[in-house]
Chains A and B, each alone.
Chain A
């Protein structure tokens, strides 16, 4: 009995901290006034909420009316946060009718709204609210009421431990947000539950805490309930005076707060007190008062309890008829309540089960959604990969394209280089043409002259034969012989020059062949000299030669080394000619060419051939000394040199396994040295 009793008493409304302000009874008239005059939907909505809260513990039909009107209005205005407040209020009201399934559903709806940020925009937040500029924090603060109502529902269903969990959550948030109002009802409810469970000390602590908070905040709507709870604790501890004091205080405050449910409950407790203290008259009085209030409130539970007490009082007073009448009433109410409860408990259990299923489904859906998200992510990833692949492919293509371009440029460059090399050859050939003409002219002259002379000599010879002058015949014959050798020699000389010219202009590289380097040097020296002379009549230079007779034949590519020698000699002539133009007194332009054979240290066979080309020109300035072997580097005026001469020479000597070196002193001249290993 006491358990059921407590169940009713502890579940109280906690909405004063939310949308709707506290509404002491004296404001009732002004509330109705406000509702009648409200032109603004928001004002109407707030007023409906306040009326709902006001009637929650005194006239639940009215409370339900205002609450449902408020729900429609909030939905129409699309004010979801306000709607959540109305849903919580309705949840409380149907919980009082023991419609726990609906109550929990409404509470869940409110919870859903208050945990989503999507309604924050344009949300109406009452101006008295602490977090009126922060919808997110405001929503969080309203979870206090949600958890409270969750606790109420579980407590009504008899799940006290679960209820305590919810109330503890409520306390945590209330503490966090420093919400004193939230601390009143939560502590109160926990206190009640502990009291019901017989843990009186814990119950006392929580109840005292609730009371202190109620006094501090002036939130006294449920102070009566707390007082009653404390009274019940004292009653159980047999501290009867204290018990009576709290019960009376409880009844007084509930009356003051127009809390009919609380007042009814207070009188139930007073009836119990008088029952315990052996005062049936007083017991009957308070039980009857409680029953009246229960009738007013149309609370079946209150009526059941109160009529039961009235029956007991009549029985105690020796009035079995009256006792029977009230006992029957109590039993009937209890039976219908019981039937209703069974039905509603079943509904609640079903709902909880469905809710469980729904949650599981939601979880499954969220798993499915996660999987879907994963699949989407996978496909997105694949898409990205494809895009990346495309990008890479394009890069690759572009790189390939630029690579091909580069290859083409390279091959263009190579062919240009080849052309340049060829034109360098041709240019040097051009330089040589006059020299070559001169060189060919001379031997041809000799050939012509000596053959003419020989013709004359043969005629003379025949004459002498006729005369029988044998000595003269012999002498003439000897001359003819010498001359024909001269003819042969100069013929070969012309032949060699033409061959050399052809070799020089040939594009491909030749083959190694045993070559008389001294002859090669001499030939090109003359070619270079006459070439320059042909171009510049005023040019002259002293040529000194010093050939090492022990050289013999060396295996080289003659036209290549010839080109190097020619190049070096041409450069030397150019250098001395330039210096000549400065008209320095006593200057004798001189070019020397010499060959030497020296044994190479550490080599058994062969040695090293050195060809030195020395001039006494201006020398090479040190700042360009490291550049002279670079391709296209030239000090000559534009059009006069390709800048490839020394570069090609360097490559040719390197190809022979040798080295091309330079020794120079500014103002004194330069010496270029070709060093080629024999064998």
Chain B
């Protein structure tokens, strides 16, 4: 399973790679990283059929997570990738907007990696 993580914080890469080091090593999960919405779209254009799950932050400079979400949902209908949005704690507005735009699921910061693992395995 290929997962694209979109976040402007570059250290999320190290964090994910550490957190999912067993899954990565076993080949169960494959992670790719984009550090902005624009980069994510570029990646998606290049790897059209690869990514099955997109994990995106909302607060990013430039293209925001919500814009990215709406573009993905408009352009990549078949097969529609699963998009999970990461929202800040108690940010109802972003939550509602993301839901309207067709977000499949939500994670709340700080990310609880064990529950994320469960979710990913469920999708898998």
Contact = CB atoms under 8 A, between A and B. Distances in A.
Contacts of B18: 450, 453, 457, 479, 483
A441 interface: yes
A540 B11 contact: no
A486 B61 CA distance: 22
A448 B112 CA distance: 11
Contacts of B9: 442, 446
Interface stretch (A218-226, A529-537, A660-668): A529-537
A486 B14 CA distance: 9
A542 interface: yes
Contacts of A457: 18
A490 interface: yes
A445 interface: yes
B92 to A, nearest CB: 10
Chain B, interface residues (CB within 8 Å), range: 20 to 34
A543 interface: yes
Nearest to B60: A540
B59 A438 contact: yes
Given A441-B88, A442-B9, A542 B61 contact: yes
Interface string A505-547: 0000000000000000000000001100100010011110000
B62 A486 contact: no
B19 A453 contact: yes
Contacts of A537: 93-94, 97
Interface in B54-93: 59, 61-64, 67, 88, 93
B35 to A, nearest CB: 13
B59 A490 contact: no
A416 interface: no
B27 interface: no
A296 to B, nearest CB: 148
A490 B63 CA distance: 25
Interface string B2-20: 0000000101001100110
A542 B110 contact: no
A371 interface: no
Contacts of A465: none
Contact of B62 (A479, A482, A490, A542): A542
B15 A450 contact: yes
A311 B97 CA distance: 166
A353 B31 CA distance: 146
B111 interface: yes
Contacts of A541: 61-62
Contacts of B64: 540
Nearest to A435: B59
A143 B14 CA distance: 134
A479 B61 CA distance: 30
A540 B18 CA distance: 31
Interface in B94-124: 94, 97, 109-111, 113
A449 B61 contact: no
A442 B19 CA distance: 17
Contacts of B15: 446, 449-450, 453, 486
Contact of A449 (B21, B59, B94, B110): B110
A234 B111 CA distance: 160
A482 B59 contact: no
Nearest to B9: A442
B67 A540 contact: yes
B67 A445 contact: no
Contact of B110 (A448, A482, A490): A448
B14 A483 contact: yes
A533 B109 contact: no
Given A438-B88, A441-B109, A445-B109, A533 B59 contact: yes
A540 B62 contact: yes
B59 A530 contact: yes
B63 to A, nearest CB: 7
B11 A490 contact: yes
Contacts of B63: 540
Interface string A584-596: 0000000000000
A446 B11 contact: yes
Contacts of B97: 537
Contacts of B113: 449, 452
B24 to A, nearest CB: 12
Interface in B1-52: 9, 11, 14-15, 18-19, 21
A543 B61 contact: yes
Contacts of A482: 14
A482 B59 CA distance: 26
Nearest to B61: A543
A546 B37 CA distance: 20
> Which of B59, B64, B97 has most chain A Cβ within 10 Å?
B59
Interface string A107-151: 000000000000000000000000000000000000000000000
A569 to B, nearest CB: 12
A350 B94 CA distance: 133
Nearest to B37: A540
A543 B63 CA distance: 10
Interface in A475-520: 479, 482-483, 486, 490
A190 B88 CA distance: 137
A438 B120 CA distance: 26
B110 A486 contact: no
A90 B113 CA distance: 147
Nearest to A450: B15
A453 B111 CA distance: 13
Given A441-B88, A441-B109, A442-B9, A543 B62 contact: yes
Interface in A440-467: 441-442, 444-446, 448-450, 452-453, 457
Given A445-B109, A445-B111, A449-B19, A486 B11 contact: yes
B109 to A, nearest CB: 6
A452 B111 CA distance: 12
A486 B13 CA distance: 12
Nearest to A442: B9
Given A445-B111, A449-B110, A529 B11 contact: no
> Which of B62, B63, B97, B113 has most chain A Cβ within 10 Å?
B62
18 contacts: A441-B109, A445-B110, A446-B15, A449-B110, A449-B113, A450-B14, A450-B18, A452-B113, A453-B19, A482-B14, A483-B18, A486-B14, A486-B15, A529-B61, A537-B93, A540-B61, A540-B67, A542-B62
Given A438-B88, A445-B110, A446-B9, 6 more contacts: A446-B15, A457-B18, A537-B93, A540-B62, A540-B63, A540-B64
Interface of A: 438, 441-442, 444-446, 448-450, 452-453, 457, 479, 482-483, 486, 490, 529-530, 533, 537, 540-543
User: Lowest 10 CB-CB distances: which A-B pairs, in order?
Assistant: A445-B110, A453-B18, A543-B61, A542-B62, A540-B64, A449-B15, A537-B93, A446-B11, A442-B9, A533-B59
Interface of B: 9, 11, 14-15, 18-19, 21, 59, 61-64, 67, 88, 93-94, 97, 109-111, 113
